[in-house]
Amino acid sequence: MSKEIYSNLIGAGESGKSTVIKQMRLIHASGFKASEREGFRIIVFLNVFSAMQILLEIVDILNLKLTDPILKYAHMFKSTPSLEENQRFPEIYYSPLKDLWNDSSIQDAYQKGNAFALHDNIAYFYNQLDTLWNPNYKPSDGDIIRCRAKTTGISETAFHLGGLTYRMFDVGGQRSERKKW
């Protein structure tokens, strides 16, 4: 009979609970199936897109000015597009995202982003837009570790190590999820 060790990861939202779970799966379990990687691929796109929405809001709040050729792209980020499984990242956003990311006002907004709700994965993903928009893109382990999605409910990850079975529970950290603790 194997011993089981239970661990509940609780804490505030954005504190890294899900990241620890993903790391444990990669190191001690079987990693992620192709279907799970596809789900993370969609999350990567949403992280990139929502980051630009936030950066554009920061530009507006701080009264920064986008350069004229770049200004025409801002309207594209008013609403978030949906992305289906196995659908390529929409090509229409590739050049605007690259150009906006390289704009000095967006970079200024990024530098001041710690005062806003910016994820820490922005530079990582924006510096590899070419890879992300490749039609054969599949998220690497590093991409999966860095992508961010709000955890709702409770998810369990189990793995075996040294004759023990570890069961880790990831509990949503948002205020509305805390009653489940």
Does residue 64 share a domain with residue 12? no
The letter for the amino acid at 78 is: K
Is the same domain home to 163 and 138? no
Question: Are 74 and 162 members of one domain?
Answer: no
DSSP H helices, 62-93, are: 68-71
Contact call for residues 22 and 145 (beta carbons, < 8 A): yes
What residues are annotated to the active site? 14, 19, 148, 170, 174
Asked if 70 and 105 sit in the same domain, the reply is yes
| Overall domain count for the chain | 2
pLDDT at 53: 97
Sign of CA dihedral 106, 107, 108, 112: positive
CATH at residue 85: 1.10.400.10
Do 24 and 72 lie in one domain? The reply is: no
Q: Which residue range forms the structural domain that includes residue 44?
A: 34-146
Spell out the per-residue pLDDT of the chain, length 181, in tens: 569 989 888 887 778 888 889 998 999 888 999 999 999 999 999 999 999 999 999 999 999 999 888 889 999 999 999 999 999 999 999 999 999 999 999 999 999 988 887 888 999 999 999 999 999 999 999 999 999 988 888 888 888 888 899 998 888 765 555 455 4
Q: How many CA atoms lie within 13 A of 18 on its CB side?
A: 20
24 plus 38 within the same structural domain: no
Q: Are residues 110 and 93 in the same domain?
A: yes
Report pLDDT for 93.
98
Are both 28 and 40 inside the same structural domain?
no
Q: Each residue of 7-19: pLDDT tens digit?
A: 888 887 778 888 8
Amino acid at 178: R
3-state secondary structure of 9: strand
Let me know whether 56 and 126 are in one domain: yes
The annotated binding site for Mg(2+) is made up of 18, 151
Do 42 and 76 lie in a common domain?
yes
Q: What is the pLDDT of residue 117?
A: 79
Asked if residues 110 and 55 have their Cβ atoms less than 8 Å apart, the reply is yes
Q: Is the same domain home to 65 and 27? A: no
Strands 164-171 and 3-9: parallel
Q: What is the pLDDT of residue 176?
A: 56
Tell me which DSSP letter residue 103 carries: S
pLDDT at position 11: 80
